[in-house]
Amino acid sequence: MANSWQRLAIFIPSLNGGGAQRLILKLANGFVERGYCVDLVLAQATGPYLPEVPETVRIVDLKASRTLFCLPALVGYLRQNRPIALLSALDYANLIALWASGLARVSTPVVVSEHNTLSLALEHARGWHKRLLPTLMRWFYPQARTIVTVSQGVAEDLPRVTGLDGDRICTIYNPVITPDLREKAKAPLEHPWLKPGEPPVVLAVGRLVPQKDFSTLIRAFAQLRQHRAARLIVLGEGVQRPELEGLVRQFGLESDVSLPGFVLNPYPYMARASVFVLSSRWEGLGIVAIEAMYLGTPVVSTDCPHGPREILQDGKYGTLVPVGDEDRLAKAIEMAMTQEAVPPCQESWQPFEVDTVVNQYLHALVG
């Protein structure tokens, strides 16, 4: 148990987004339970997860209009509070955390964490990101105490793209499985499609962005729907909503496809769905697939880089299909619907338990 005066800081741009933000909240709560004071330092204190921050965690709002502009405020925070360690998440925030630490001239070690496959993210990046980000990471990431990646695939990709020393990189899975996850899954759910006696529901969860490739999922579902009754729910919000809604209309699926938007607690949907699908082109890990697997819902996932193959143990705990292959995806979804769901064994989700992961992060942060 840590002394109560020992302060850990976690820096992230905001609580907008998905997997990385949920990870941060679980880590913050885990650090508090170990006896640390925890500051959640945000460039902007915004986002749908803001009400989920535990009361035991102090929110520090740097009030910056953009993440880059919070650098002076972060320098001031480090000089004034001098946390025993600083954890940052996401590449741009990681760079700013390292710059702030250097400018503040404090002894606070910085641990940076990467949550996505950099090579593939850069393929879809615009502007200066594509040209400068790998160089900046190669120059400044060596100043970090440790570089954490959320999957082994991301750990292998990062040095290939940046030239970083692979020996400085360690893999720590996301803290997905928490004691309250099953309780959250039992929350009441009034969605009419998930009542007993209704056709089976295919569920997907994620931002409506090209990375998640929900257009391929909708096309696969259209094939499935031609010869069996089923429904598709996609929980999430994003820039591709108009495009995806247009695709639904194109296939005449308005009565069978629902895009309800962002849902703070997706677990009742996961627990009641017949099949969970991860259709991504790439991932850092694929948190939602772990959650669905833990709740006993059959998982069908693309074999995208990186994460799903690690999570599903080469197909042992779910079905893997090629990225962008709507025919194979449709067949895998139908097969998962017709097979009896098998409760997950503990070895399938133990690496993602919050206690395991919190201990690993504390080792990286404070030794």
The 10s digit of each residue's pLDDT in 25-43 is 999 999 999 999 999 999 9
Residue 128 has pLDDT above 70, yes or no: no
End-to-end CA distance of the chain: 13
- What is the residue extent of each domain of the chain? 7-171, 181-350
- Amino acid 115: pLDDT: 87
CATH number of 181-350: 3.40.50.2000
Residue 185 — very low, low, confident or very high, per pLDDT cuts 50/70/90?
Answer: very high
Retrieve residue 123's tokens: 């393929």
Q: CA-CA distance, 189 to 68, in Å (whole number)? A: 40
Domain topology for 7-171: Rossmann fold (3.40.50)
Does the reported pTM lie above 0.85?
no
Percent of the chain clearing pLDDT 90 (strictly above): 82
The 10s digit of each residue's pLDDT in 239-270 is 999 999 999 999 999 999 999 999 989 999 99
Residue range 292-320: mean pLDDT, rounded: 93
Same CATH topology for 7-171 and 181-350: the answer is yes
Closest to 111 (Cα-Cα) out of 193, 11, 34 = 11
Residue range 146-161: mean pLDDT, rounded: 94
Residue range 45-72: mean pLDDT, rounded: 95
The residue among 350 and 204 whose pLDDT is bigger is 204
